[in-house]
A and B are shown apart, each in its own frame.
Chain A
Amino acid sequence: MLIYIILALSNGVFIGMSRAINGKLSQHIGSFNASLSNHIVGFITLSLLFLPVFIGLYPTELNVNQLSNAPLTAYLGGVIGALYVAINSFVLVRVGATNTALLVISGQMLTGVMIDYQSDNLNSLLFTFVGVTLIVIGMILPSKLKS
Chain B
Amino acid sequence: MKNRYLDLVLALLGGSLLAVMINLNSRLAEFTTPFLASWVAHGIGAIMALAIVMVIAKTKRSTTTNNSIHLNHNNPPKSPKWSYLGGIPGALTVVFAAITVNSPLGLAGTLALGLVGQIMFGTVVDNFGLFGLDKKPFSIANCISILPIAVGSTIIIFFGI
Our pick among A5, A21, A73, A141 for the contact of B89 (Cβ within 8 Å) is A21
Q: Within the assembled complex, what's the spacing in Å between the Cα atoms of A63 and B37? A: 11
Interface size class of B (residues with CB under 8 A): 35 or more
Q: Contact at B84–A135, with CB atoms within 8 Å?
A: no
CA A80 – CA B45 in complex, angstroms? Answer: 7
The verdict on A55 contacting chain B, using a C-beta distance below 8 Å, is no
- Neighbouring A residues of B78 by C-beta, 8 Å: 28
A28 to B132, CA, bound (A): 12
Q: How far is the CA of A28 from the CA of B86 in the complex (A)?
A: 14
| A interface SS class | helix
Min C-beta distance of A108 to chain B, whole Å: 4
A143 touches B144 (CB 8 A): no
In the assembled complex, the CB of A146 is this many whole angstroms from the nearest CB of chain B, namely 8
Scan B62-106; emit 1 where CB is below 8 A from any A CB, else 0. Answer: 000000000000011011101111111111111111011001110
- Residues of chain B whose beta carbon lies under 8 Å from any beta carbon of chain A: 3-4, 7-8, 10-25, 27-28, 30-33, 35-50, 52-53, 56, 75-76, 78-80, 82-97, 99-100, 103-105, 109-110, 113-123, 125-126, 130-134, 136, 141-142, 144-149, 151-156, 159-161
The 10 closest A-B pairs by CB, nearest first: A107-B15, A12-B117, A78-B44, A134-B152, A41-B87, A28-B79, A103-B11, A138-B148, A128-B160, A42-B87
